[in-house]
Each structure stands twice: as structure tokens, then as C-alpha cells.
Amino acid sequence: MESIEAFIDRLPKAELHLHLVGSASVPTVLELARRHPDGAGVPASAAELAAFYEFRDFPHFSQVYGAVSRLVREPADVAELVVGAARDLARQNVRYAELTVTPYTFTSAGMPADELTEALDIAARSAGREHGVRMAYIFDVAGEYGAPAAYATLEHALTRPPGALTGFGLAGIEQARPRFAEEFRSVFASAVAAGLHSVPHAGEMSGPATIWEALDGLRAERIGHGLSCLGDPALVARLRESQVPLEVCPTSNVCTRQVPGLAAHPLPRLLAEGLFVTLNSDDPPMFGTTLTEEYQRAASVLGLSRDQLAELAANGVRASFLDPGAKQALLAEIAVSAETRA
């Protein structure tokens, strides 16, 4: 029988939880840091960058992420990141990705919204043409930036969206959200009314209440992370019944100190509870991982079987916002791959 590594390599995949800046390869970040030596203290050597990416906790990770974001100053930089992400994904047999972009990070620093949108459109076409990866976008808000970011992101999404925009999200430091709860509810209501899908992060670094708010206040169709649901049996029952997908990112959770180690990650328990789970990489170069490695670690460390890995790959497609025909075609490919025994 073929190795588990070979099985994972040929398994078609979708990636639903990947951040634009967090997808930047180490060589790309180093080049941006050299290009902008005044840029927020991001180191310009590989060894120093590796140390820079050793996170103490989530707030520290957020600071580092923000520093790297500030190196992205031109629309061409944005396009380069998107195409670079597609290149990396193609090597992992990823066919479709929903890439999370935080436009306020760029527009608040002076990048014109029209030029950012144009760069995203050009990059999505290049990703498909050059690498065979179909790209969609999610516009998200960093929660700690509050109402100004929320309303600016909504306006951008409604008036100058990229053609592949499909979702509206909320990320950042979850503990900062309650004081902006009404503003976030308002912008999500408008985004959903305009046809965008609600995909907030919740339950990554805070308790079940954040997930309840995402479901009931933000009308979430998927939840980014969602780990803390296990602390509330009623919430687990709600998620089991509704089958709202959880975008689970194991290595990310270890690196930001949300779980003590990979062997302690609750992914197997989430599956045992009958919850709808997808497997994702989040910010792979920052966390020293790839989507392929997430599948490998799920097998080698967490003990998932080949059938479970194939089901996670299929879940990524089912939970995506692909059109029905593309979904069925990709699910059929996964089924064939799972049945084949080399």
C-alpha cells in the first residue's frame, strides 16, 4: 500500500482558512523587509525572521502579523502575495481556496481601494491561469480596529468589490469585540443582505460566548476555529444539529498557545462529537506548516485514518462557496482518490 504521505499528496483539497499576509513565503517577507527597511522592525534575515515568528501568545502573534502587513504597501505587493499563495497551494494539489484579505490594513495606510480591488482581480485570474487554483476572497475586519474598520470594510465590499469576493469575516483579538458588538452586527447584516457569506472567527482565544454571538449575532455560515465550543454542551449540540462547519487549524492553535501541544489538540474530539470540521493552515509560513503538513500531522500525531483524511478533504469542498457543479466535480475527484489503493 502507498505511504500516507503519497496518499495525502494526491488527495485533491480545498483551503478555506488562509490569510493573505499570513500566506507570504519567507523569501517574500525577507524581500519586502529589504525593500522597506523602515518597516516596523521586521528582520531581513531568515534566522532572525524565524525567531520573529516565535509567538508568546495570540496578542504577540497579532503584533507580528501587523508588522508584516505594514510591509505590503503597493497594489503590486498584494497581487504578488495572491499569486504566490496560489503557487504554493498548487504544489499541494489544492484546487480551490478562499483567501482572507483585510483591506482596511492597506486602505487606511493610503492604498486606494480601487487599486487594491484591481490587484485582487488581476491576481485571481493569474492564479487560475498560471497555477490552476481557483481563488475566492473573504474581506475581514480585525476586531480590535472597531467600528471605523468595520464600516470601511463594508463600504469597500459593497461598492468596489473584487469579482471573486464571496464572504465577510471578523478576526483579530476576540476579547476586543464586545464593545463593538452592535456595529459588527450591523455591518454583517448589511453584508449578508448583499449576498456575502458570513464567516467570522470565533472561539479561538475566547470562550463559547463568542461562538454564540457569531451564530446568533453575525449569522455565521462557518466558524473560524471554534475550539472553545467543547466547553459548552448546549453549543456542541447546536453545532452538531446545524452542521455549521468549523475551520480547524491545528498547528496555528499550537503556535499561538491556544493548545499546549499538537497531541493535545481537540480535533479528534470535535470529530467524535459529530461536528462538521474542515482542516486548514491559517498562516502557514508563520507557523512553519502547509496544508499538506496539517493532513500529515493529523494522521501521524492525532491518529486520523485515511478515510477520515479523505472526509476532511471532502468537507472542505462541501463547506466552500463553490458553485454546485464545481463542488460535485471536485467531490467526485476526492472520492476516486480515496478509493484508489496504489
Residues belonging to the active site: 204
Residue owning grid cell 469597500: 156
Question: If we measure between CA atoms, which residue out of 301, 232, 317, 303 comes closest to residue 271?
Answer: 303
**Residues 275, 246: contact at Cβ < 8 Å?**
yes
The whole-angstrom separation of Cα 93 and Cα 108 is 35
Those residues whose C-beta lies under 8 Å from the C-beta of residue 333, and which sit 6 or more positions away, are: 12, 95
Please state, in angstroms and rounded to a whole number, the distance separating the CA atoms of residues 203 and 121: 32
**26-35 vs 75-90: helix crossing angle, rounded to 10:** 160
Dihedral Cα 9, 14, 16, 19, nearest 10 deg: 50
Phi, psi of 139 (to 5 degrees): -90, 125
**Which residue bears the cell 484591481?**
118
